[in-house]
Chain A
């Protein structure tokens, strides 16, 4: 059975800290891995990763995929209170998205 596991489930840090969120997967036919950020409303797209070792970067956020070890990490540097959200990982397997349970990140001022 396809599955996506995110860790930690929740994380509380102080502003300015750097955080690393993890997403591991076991799927039958990997096509891509996606990261989303969900604040109060809809999940919003952050990154899509298809190739190992190539970092995707957007401001203070970056992500990388390891297709050999079957995981991805999402890094956030110099965190701000606005980074507080649930971060969701999803893997496209056979054209179906398999979602992780999310990591709830809280940034304290």
Chain B
């Protein structure tokens, strides 16, 4: 019974492609997030989504777009992938804006 599950765990693709990472949580949380963790292990918030309110980190390129079909899902779609997009992407959820529960991460490699 994984609390926050994201797929795929690994994704290898070519520059210029479009890809999606899916995330689902079964905790009944009301807020979901996408984080990017680069090679230096620094966690950077990309998006948070609460009751249909999307808060975007302004440094995130508009090639990245979150899509939330319902409260339990927040998918990440990336257009025109670039080499610098290679990272581990973490989905997380919380009740309110406090303790986050993270998914296992999706390692994206852009060749």
Q: Which residues of B contact A31 (CB under 8 A)?
A: 98
Q: Which B residues are closer than 8 A to A by beta carbons?
A: 4, 40-45, 48, 90, 96-105
Question: Could you tell me if A104 and B43 are in contact, using CB atoms closer than 8 angstroms?
Answer: no
Interface size bracket, A side: 20 to 34
Over the window 23-41 of chain A, the binary record of Cβ atoms lying under 8 Å from chain B Cβ atoms (1 yes, 0 no) is: 0000000011010001001
Question: Could you tell me if A32 and B98 are in contact, using CB atoms closer than 8 angstroms?
Answer: yes
Question: Could you tell me if B97 and A99 are in contact, using CB atoms closer than 8 angstroms?
Answer: no
Answer whether residue A96 sits at the interface, using C-beta atoms and an 8 A cutoff. Answer: yes
Q: Which of A43-51, A65-73, A76-84 makes up part of the contact surface?
A: A43-51
Question: Could you tell me if B105 and A92 are in contact, using CB atoms closer than 8 angstroms?
Answer: no
Q: A42-B90, A92-B97, A96-B97 are in contact. Are A102 and B41 (CB under 8 A)?
A: yes
- A102 to B101: give the CA distance in the assembly, Å: 17
